[in-house]
Every structure is written in C-alpha cells, then in structure tokens.
Structure 1
Amino acid sequence: MKITKIDVMLLEGEGNPSWRPIVCRIYTDEGIYGDGEAAIAYAVGAPAAYGMVKDLGKMIIGMDPLDNEVIWDIMYRNTFWGQNGGAIVFSGISALDIALWDIKAKYFGVPLYKLLGGKKRSKLRTYASQLQFGWSDHYEIAAKTEDYVANAKKAVAEGYDAIKIDFFMFNKDGERFQNDLESVTLLKPYYVNLIEERLSAVREAIGPDVDIIMENHSFLDTNSAIQLGLIAQKYKIFFFEEPNTPTPKTTKFICDKLQMPIAHGERIYSRWEFAPYFENQSVQLIQPDIGNCGGVTEAKKICDMAHVYDISVQAHVCASPISTAVALHLEAVIPNFCIHEHHVFNLHQYNKNFGKYDLQPVNGYFNVPETPGIGNELSDLCFEQYIEKTTIK
C-alpha cells in the first residue's frame, strides 16, 4: 500500500472567523483514507500550521502508510526544524501521523485502541471545560459572579461531576484581564478577592462532590500564580492548569509552594520537552495535545513516560471533532488516564459541522468509538467550504 495524495484544508468556523481548524486527509492506492488534524485551531498560527502540513506531506507521498514510525522519524529528523521543534512543526507532524493511524486501523478493520494495546475502559469520565465561555451552543462571556454559578450548575445538571473554569480571564465588565492589567506580577487585593468571590460562589453552588479544575492559560507569572493558588486550594481544587508559562524550574517552584496538583502540557511538545517535568516532579498531571505534540505515535510515548513517574494524563482537546475522537482512543488504553476534556466549543454547531459524527458524552461520560479507525472523519463540508485547500500528489 502506498500514499497517493493528501488533501490539506484550512477551515473557518461559520460565524466565528477566529476558529480555524487545520485538517488533512491521506489517500492510498488501496482506497483507504485517513483523517488528521494540526491542533492550532485558535489564537494565532493556523496558516503556519497549514503550510507545515503541506511541506511535510510532500515528503511522504509514495511511502507505505503502515510504516508510521518510519514516517514519523523522517518528518522529525529530515526537516532540520523538526528536532527540538515547537508548536508549528509538531502540529504538522501530528496531523499526518493521526491520519496514518486512522488508515492503519481501517486497514486491519479495528478501532484505533486495538492497535494501541486494547482498551482498559469503555467509558471515560469527562469534565465540562472552559465555563467562562458559557455552557451552551453559542459563545458567552462570564463576567458577573452569578454567570459563573449559572454555567457551573447547568453543567452539573447535565451529569458532569467535574468542571473547569478560568476565573481570571474576564473582568466584571466582560473585558479580558490582559487589557486590564499593566503587568502580571504580584496582584492587588482587588484581583485576588474577585477570583475568590467567583470560586467560592461556584463551590457553594455545586457542593463538595463536584471537582473544580482551575484554568489559568499561563496568564500569570510564578509569584501571582502562587497568590491565586494559595487562595484556591482552600476550595479543594482538582488541579491547577497552566498556572504560568511552562518551564520546568518555575513549575517546580509553584508546585513546592502549593498543596494541589499542577497540570501543564498543551504548550509542551515531544517527549524531550516533557522529560524535565517528569524528572523534577513538578507536574502531577500532563495534558499533551495529540494534534500538536507529535500525533498518536508521540503522545503514546509521552504518556508511557509519565506513567513511570506516577503522573496522570488528560489529553488536551480544543479543536475539531477529529481531535476529540483520537483522544478518546488514547485515553482508553493508557493506565494513567485521569479524565477527558470536553470543551464548550464542541457544543457549537460550527465546530460540530466539521465532523461526520457528533460525538458527545452522556451524563458526564464518553463512550469509546468502536468503528474501524479513529471513529470519526471529516464531513463533506470540509471539502466544500474552506479558507484554503491544497492537494499534494
């Protein structure tokens, strides 16, 4: 079997031009195809990731798609920028690698989890993610304390026993704090008290039996992250996600000052970058994004390395339905799985439209797809409506 051509698309969410998934489909001479994604769908960088998938795709035309390890090593070592690369290089590698695993599982007629060693669980505990953006089929901003409470109660009513909120994204006027603060050093009491007000209200509303994950999107520096952490840990935080810019030493400093688990991973790429966090025990949970850490091939190795150090895993999932599907398979097989992330954007129709199937959890648990491959594929819409599309032969 040989790779004959690759379609690469830069998409755009209808009504949300800031949502730009980068996806690909690899075709073979035996009629089997596979879909993948470079998970740089939000913020800046999507056009760069699109270009990277195109460049890497040219290297693998004519190769056997079942030789995924051989292909991965070529993309990593024969590109110069691959070794010690960052988000764009690794997202490009990831998109093609995911598509190759989709092909491989379809070739053998099994769900992806079979090729990864077999599933240890059929249902995955799932949390409602990023409730500062609401919890509905459209984008909302949580500004008032009652907004945070309402969103949390809505998710819990749907059966979730874990939620995640960035309490420090919007001020009381609904404007981002990035525009409100002159720096991110030690915070004035106003900001610390505001976050505690929101957190305290949410905890009281949902009770002691629902986990709260505190997101921070690396907005703060080490000292201000500790400020918030010392307040937050009183409310039994499940884990503190991206408290600061991820570096092994500053993360270790935060970890040593707080009494709750620290999580990082969506901005850490490859096993080489994760290794120092394992070695210094600065994180208790990692969040590798399969769509930008190196694909299934690399993510499985990262998770296995984490297991050696008793570090738990929650795949970072904030992209199209392709990323959701592949994450479920990886999380089903690894022994150190903790919980699955269900981002509020997965409730928005513009994002659902990119997948053939609408995979959604029930009562806070996801079922693992059982169809051959990753369990989802790109919808026809992806091939009809896009910002850019390139076919590589």
Structure 2
Amino acid sequence: MKITSIDIFRVKWNRQYGAWHPIVVRINTDEGISGFGEAGIFYGSGFEATIGSLKDLGKRLIGQDPTRIEAIWQQFYQGTFWGKSGGATFYAAVSALDIALWDIKGKSLNVPVYELLGGATRTRIRSYASQLQFGWEDETRYLIQPEEYAETAKKAIDQGYTAVKVDPFMVDRQGHLGRRLLGMMSQADLQLNYDRIKAIRDAVGPDVDIILECHAGLDVNTAIQFVQKVAPLNIYYMEEAFSPMNPGLATKIKEKTAIPQASGERIVTRFGFQPYLAARSLDVIQPDVAICGGISEAKKICDMAATYEIACQLHVCGTPIATAAALQVEAVLPNALIHEHHEISLKAGNRWIGKYPDEVDNGDFVIPDRPGIGQELSQAAIEASVCETIE
C-alpha cells in the first residue's frame, strides 16, 4: 500500500466563533483506503502556518507505505531540522498526519485503533461538561453573574454529568471576552471570580467534581491567591494556572496548595512534557492528540506520566475527528482520568462535520469500535470545505 495524495480541508464553519477554522486532512492510498486526521491549531492565531506545515510535510509522504507510522514520525522529527524544536503549529501538522496514518492502518486491518495500541482497558469513559462560562447549549452565551454559572452547571448535571469545568476569569463583569491579566488581580475581581465558583458548588452539591480552568491567564501571585481562596470549595484540579513556557512556575504553585495542578494543551511532544514529569510539578497532564504529535506521541507521553503516577486527561477542543482520535487513546490508557466534552461539541455547526454522532450516555462517552479512529468527515462537510490536494 502506498500514499497517493493528501487532501487538506479548510472545513466550513459558520457559527459563533469568527476565528474558528477547522483543519482536517485525508490521506489517500492506492488501495482505496483513506484516513482522516485533524490539526488542532484552528482557533487563536496560527492556522495558516499549520496549513503551510501540512503542505511541506505532506509532500514527504507521497509514495510511502502508510503503515510505517513510527518510521514516518521519525522522519518528521529527525529529518526536518525544525522537528527538534518545532512548536504547536508544526506539531499540529505532524499530529494530523499521524492520526490519519493510524486511521488507515486500523481500517486496513478492520480494527479500531485502540486494538493496535494494546487493546482497550475500557469501553466507555466518564466525561465532564467543559467551558461553562459559554453556557451549555447550542448557542454560545458569555456568562457574567454567579447565578448564571449556577444555572448552567445545574443544566449539565441534570443531563447526567458528574463533573464540570469552568473558567471564571474569561468573561469580565462587563461581559467582555478574553480578558488577560497583566499584573495582580484586584480584590474585587478575585471576589467576583470566587463567587462564580461558589455559586456552582452551591448549585451542584458536594459530590460533583469542579475543574478550575485558567487558560494561562493568571500570573503566579494571583494564581496562588485564588487557589487558596477556593480551597474550601473542593476543586478537583486547577488547569493552566500559568504560562507553560516556564515549567518552574508549576512548582511554585504546588508548594502553596493541595489542589492538583494540570496543564498540557499547549505543550508538544514527550520532550516538552519531560520537565514537568521529572519534577512531578503537575498532577494531571493534558496533551492534545491533535497538537502534541498525534496518537503516536500522545500514547508515549501518557505512558511516561504513568511512571510518575500522574493522571492523563486529553485536551479535546475540535471537530468530531479530534474527539474520535482522543477516545481511541483514552480507551487504552490505564491512567486516563476523564474525557473532556467541550461545549463546542454541542454546536450544530460542529456536529455536522462528523459522519457519525458522538455516543454520550448519561455523561459517559461510549468509545466507538468502528475500524480506524471511528470517525470521518461527513459528505456534506467535504463538499462545503475548501480543499487543497498534495500529489
């Protein structure tokens, strides 16, 4: 079997987020088997750079055997020069191609990818309702008042979820999105953000797990102040309290709290995670299969974490392709903690992208047993996308 062409789809997105540009690849072979993968850099800035990397790396694959996945990954790492220092935009391209290669191999053997990774340790996984500051429904809302956070959390719990995640800092008191802290937070803002978390705890009761999201928007001083303030609310773990560019900051926060610390969505490859693992400065790592280096690298990262008794919660914020790839890895990992069900997955503008609907049962994700990653672009999404083909 040989790779004959690679299609790069800029998937049509016509809903709330203007800066949302899903990137999906399809690797085609001479035996008629195609595999799908996703590049996770399609929000924020950088998606054009990732498309450029896909074009460059894709040319290397033409004529190669798609089942030699590790050999191809090593070509990207050893043979591109920048593979040994490339950041998220480069490794998002690597990830998309790697996921598609695993999809091809699973389909060619008529087995789900998890069978090729060692076999399933579970058939379903508990999930949490993620990013409640945007509501939990088809239309996005920017929540301001603590009562709105409480109502939204209660809605998710009523659907069967036993855990929720919220960034209380993302929407300011005027309803503006994306505020980032420069310097320490005022006491008034600290109190408002605490009140939002407290309202959720009061609404859902003591048994629901609350994940505190920060999106790397705090400085270390504010993170320490806030983590001590919310400690009585029994936080499950605190995510991205600081910029991942400086691994030493995680230790500073861990010294001040018993609340577990998590990070990883912007960290790429096992080499990027190694300082955190060696120092055990994180309690939960969150690699994104569509950013960190693909299925191949996510499995290695999570296995390394297991040697330090560190849990894994794969970051998932993308199309149904990214969700499917994450579920294949989570199916295998003994240290997989919980699955992220991002509110973007609720949107009709996202659901139509996948050929198959997600299977969510009372807050648990059912892991698909279809061959490959178990998901493809829908025909409607393919027809509506802008496609560039590498031959």
1:123 alignment partner in structure 2: 124
Per-residue CA deviation, residues 336-387 of structure 1 (Å, 9 max, x unaligned), is: 110000000000011111110111411110111011110110112332223x
Instruction: Tell me how large the CA RMSD over aligned residues is.
Output: 1.1
Q: Does the residue aligned with 1:391 lie in a helix, a strand or coil?
A: strand
Q: Which amino acid aligns with 2:39?
A: A
TM-score normalised to structure 2 length: 0.98
1:355 alignment partner in structure 2: 354
Q: Is the 8 A contact 2:142 2:177 kept in 1?
A: no
Q: Is the 8 A contact 2:134 2:143 kept in 1?
A: yes
Q: Is the 8 A contact 1:186 1:227 kept in 2?
A: no
Q: Is the 8 A contact 1:105 1:372 kept in 2?
A: yes
Q: Distance in 2 between matches of 1:249 and 1:75?
A: 29
1:152 alignment partner in structure 2: 153
Q: Is the 8 A contact 2:12 2:381 kept in 1?
A: no
Q: Which amino acid aligns with 2:191?
A: N
Q: Is the 8 A contact 2:165 2:213 kept in 1?
A: yes
Q: Distance in 1 between matches of 2:12 and 2:163?
A: 30
Shift of 1:158: 0.1
Matched, 1:34 2:35: yes
1:169 alignment partner in structure 2: 170
**Equivalent residue for 1:188, pick from 181, 186, 189:** 186
Q: Which amino acid aligns with 1:11?
A: V
> Aligned ranges for residues 18-29 of structure 1 at < 5 Å?
18-29=19-30
Q: Which amino acid aligns with 1:342?
A: H
1:105 alignment partner in structure 2: 106
Q: Distance in 2 between matches of 1:302 and 1:316?
A: 13
Q: Does the residue aligned with 2:164 lie in a helix, a strand or coil?
A: strand
Per-residue CA deviation, residues 281-312 of structure 1 (Å, 9 max, x unaligned), is: 10000000000100001110000000000000
- Shifted more, 301-310 versus 45-54: the winner is 45-54
Per-residue CA deviation, residues 108-132 of structure 1 (Å, 9 max, x unaligned), is: 1101110010111111000000000
Shift of 1:171: 1.6
Q: Does the residue aligned with 1:257 lie in a helix, a strand or coil?
A: coil
Q: Distance in 1 between matches of 2:267 and 2:349?
A: 28
Shift of 1:177: 5.9
Q: Give the length in aligned residue pairs.
A: 389
Q: Which amino acid aligns with 1:313?
A: C
1:228 alignment partner in structure 2: 226
TM-score normalised to structure 1 length: 0.97
2:70 alignment partner in structure 1: 69
Q: Is the 8 A contact 1:321 1:351 kept in 2?
A: yes
Q: Which runs of 4+ in 1 moved over 6 A?
A: none
Q: Is the 8 A contact 2:7 2:26 kept in 1?
A: yes
1:268 alignment partner in structure 2: 267
Shift of 1:40: 1.2
Q: Distance in 1 between matches of 2:328 and 2:75?
A: 25
Q: Does the residue aligned with 1:31 lie in a helix, a strand or coil?
A: coil
Q: Is the 8 A contact 1:10 1:46 kept in 2?
A: no
Q: Which runs of 5+ in 2 are unaligned?
A: none
2:235 alignment partner in structure 1: 237
2:279 alignment partner in structure 1: 280
1:313 alignment partner in structure 2: 312
Q: Distance in 2 between matches of 1:74 and 1:324?
A: 26
1:53 alignment partner in structure 2: 54
- Shifted more, 134-143 versus 10-19: the winner is 10-19
1:255 alignment partner in structure 2: 254
Q: Which runs of 5+ in 1 are unaligned?
A: none
Matched, 1:214 2:215: no
2:301 alignment partner in structure 1: 302
2:143 alignment partner in structure 1: 142
Q: Distance in 2 between matches of 1:253 and 1:282?
A: 9
Shift of 1:244: 0.8
Q: Is the 8 A contact 1:9 1:50 kept in 2?
A: no
1:375 alignment partner in structure 2: 374
- Shifted more, 7-16 versus 250-259: the winner is 7-16
Shift of 1:53: 1.0
